[in-house]
Amino acid sequence: MLSRKLNQVFLNIISNAIYAIKKQHANGEGGVLSITTEHQGDFIYVKIGDNGTGMDENTRKRLFEPFFTTKDVGEGTGLGLSISYNTISKHNGTITVNSEPNVGTEFIIKLPLEHNIVNQPSQ
């Protein structure tokens, strides 16, 4: 079962994506948010993509830093992705990002399946 903390990770990444889409597309028209999951060996991959603002190089380098935000004052704490990074690390996973300014962004989250925990018979 996914921990509540991992749900928060997905929520934060999805709300970042929606924010970037709304900024790039007037009224969100033409915005696309895609979420795919894949299972490969002992890992699952969750990919969350958007065709929003994308990021410049400076933002891409710093986005996991605590309190780093490009949102207006009062709009974001800049903690979403640093907390997400820590949560994923605690689950022995990784998070990577591909992004291009004015084109979009894709986050790839890789998590171990942890068979022996997930598949224990319930009694």
Ligand X SMILES: Nc1ncnc2c1ncn2[C@@H]1O[C@H](COP(=O)(O)OP(=O)(O)OP(=O)(O)O)[C@@H](O)[C@H]1O
The residue count for binding Mg ion (CB under 5 A) is: 3
Binding mask 41-80 for Mg ion (x = CB under 5 A): ---------------------------------------x
Pick from 12, 86, 94, 98 the residue near ligand X by CB under 6 A: 12
Among 78, 94, 98, 112, binds ligand X (CB under 6 A): 78
Q: State how far the Cα of 27 lies from the Cα of 36, in Å rounded to an integer.
A: 24
| Nearest C-alpha neighbor of 48 from the set 75, 18, 13, 15 | 13
Calpha distance 12→109 (Å, rounded): 13
Q: Any idea how long the chain is?
A: 123
Please state the closest distance from residue 88 (CB atom) to ligand X, in A: 13
Say what the alpha-carbon torsion angle 12, 20, 49, 77 is, to the nearest 10 degrees: -20
Q: Which residue is nearest to Mg ion (CB)?
A: 80
94 binds ligand X (CB under 6 A): no
